[in-house]
Structures are given as C-alpha cells and as structure tokens.
Amino acid sequence: MKLTAYLAHATLYGGDEFSGYLATLRLLKEAGFDGYDLALFATMPVKGTLFHGPDYALHARRLKAEADRLGLFCNQTHAPFFGYCTEGMTRKEYEALLPRALEITAILGGKFCVVHPERDWTPEENAEKLYLPLLPYAKQYGVSVALENLWISRDGNFVPCACSTAESYLRHLALLDEKYFCACLDIGHATLLHGYTSPEELIRALGGRLRALHVHDNDGRDDAHLMPYCGATDWDKVTAALKEIGYRGDLTFEVSGERFPVPLAPSSAALLHDVGRYLLSKI
C-alpha cells in the first residue's frame, strides 16, 4: 500500500499552472509521500489551461517526466464533473473531456480515473449515459473508471443521492464490468451522511470492488476536506473496516492544503504524511 495526495496546480504556491504542479510535487516528495492523485476537475474544463487545449498529452508527459525524476508516481486522477468549473460548457462538450481524462491517466501511469456519477440519475441512467460509453476508452488505455460516493444538499441538510448508500453504490457497480469499473470511496462524503450511512458500512459493503480512496475529514456539517482527526470521522472504525476486507489499494488524501499559509506548507505536509503512515499502520 502506498501513500499519495491530491495534486492541483498552485494549491500551495502561486505562479503559472505547470510551476504550481512542480512546486507541489516537490513538497510531497520532501514530506515523504510516495505519489500523487492529479486533480483535473478544476482546470481541465477551463480554456487556456494545460489539459484543456490540444497539447494536453505533451503536458501530461512533461508532468510525468518531472514526477519520475522526483521518484513520485501517479496512482489515480479525478476527471471533471458537470456543474463544477463547466460554466458555458454544454453537456456534450463536457462529456468529450472524459475520454481525454482517461488518456491523461494512462500517460501518467495511473490505474484509476475517478468519474462522478450524476447525482440525480438512476443507476441505469448513469450506466447507459455516462459509464458504458467510457468502456472502450478504459479498455484502450488500460485504466479503470472509479465511481465516487456523493451527497446532495436539500434545505441545508445532506441527503443521499447516486452512490451515497451501499444499496445505490452496489446497484451502480452491478451494471458495470468489474475489470474496468470499481469504487473510489470518499471517506469525508460518507461522514456527511451520518444517519444514512457511514464510511465503515460502505467499506464492508463494497468489499473487493473498493480499490481506491479519497481520504479527508469534516465536522458532519460541511464538506471541508480536513486532515484526519480534525473532524467527526471515526478513524479507528474506518481502518478496522479496511483491514477486515483486506484492502490493498493506496491511501490517497484529498485534503485542502490551501487552508495553511504558504510558510506552513512544509510542516503541514509533513504532518499529513505522518497521519497517513499512522493510518496505513492500522490497516
């Protein structure tokens, strides 16, 4: 099992987009991480960014070369999702980005590309309209598409939607070939739905279909993407459940590093690393 962390351009540093990626890669390396999860969702839909334009493959190869030089690997990526940074983009234009996200994942050497289900679609609708059209690309690039559990807010309350509960998650996965589709469980999202489910319940229900993680914490009232042990998640129960199912994937943080001032970036990254190694020791 490896320890990886969310990589977004200029998450902790200013400068141009590629410089931001490199600065954060160096930070992760110095902190002791093994690799990174490339976040494509916030930049890829935006014109003028590295992975939006025609030279996306060139930039992916540049990023891989720099990561290889540092001894860091890419385990997964996070594809864009409709409604976030997709203003002015049609549904068809958005969907055209998804095969590209799988290709970028393959160029970087990643195994999984996280693709959100549509929150208000049924398992059958998500399979037919979103996931099955990606199957030829998953086969072509040798990348698995990972479904993530989500939430929806109604009247200020978090309530279940697509893949939020064990029943919904398993219904989605049952329609998809397990060789090319799996689950990426977002621990923080499951914590938000206390009263409906829990991270440990979803872990046990998913079993062998669980092959990737988004690890972060919150207080149960806001999707804050905090460091573990800073919120309401019971990490003893989470690690016990992961150990019980024999989880052998990576532990990937999706923590918002920009909460810390830039001068604290090295020490906060080092602490996040230490927390990750501790969680791995319990699994």
pTM, entire model = 0.95
The CA distance from 135 to 141, in Å, is: 10
- 93 Cβ neighbours under 8 A, 6+ residues apart: none
Look at domain 3-143+152-282 and name its CATH class.
alpha beta
Cα angle at 125 between 84 and 250, to 5 degrees?
A: 60
Q: 34 φ, ψ to 5°?
A: -90, -30
Classify 32 as helix, strand or coil.
Answer: coil
pLDDT score for 16: 84
Compute and round to an integer the Cα radius of gyration of the chain.
18
Contact (CB, 8 A) for 283 and 239:
yes
CA pair distance 251, 5, nearest whole angstrom: 8
Give pLDDT, residue 14: 56
Q: Exposed, middle or buried: residue 280 (CB in 10 Å: 0-12, 13-18, 19+)?
A: middle
Structure token digits, residue 227? 């460091």
CB 19 within 8 A of CB 13: yes
Query: Position of tokens 């807010």?
Result: 153
Looking at residue 200, what is its pLDDT? Answer: 98
Report the run of H or E that residue 4 belongs to, with start and end. Answer: strand 3-7
Pairing mode, strands 157-159 and 152-154: antiparallel
Q: What is the pLDDT along the chain (283 residues), one digit of tens a residue?
A: 999 998 875 454 556 889 889 999 999 999 999 999 999 998 899 999 999 999 999 999 999 999 999 999 999 999 999 988 888 889 999 999 999 999 999 999 999 999 999 999 999 999 999 999 999 999 999 999 999 999 999 988 999 999 999 999 999 999 999 999 999 999 999 999 999 999 999 999 999 999 999 999 999 999 999 999 999 999 999 999 999 999 999 999 999 877 788 889 899 999 999 999 999 999 9
Distance CA 111, CA 207 (A): 18
Gap between the Cα atoms of 93 and 142, Å rounded: 24
Q: Where are the chain's structural domains?
A: 3-143+152-282
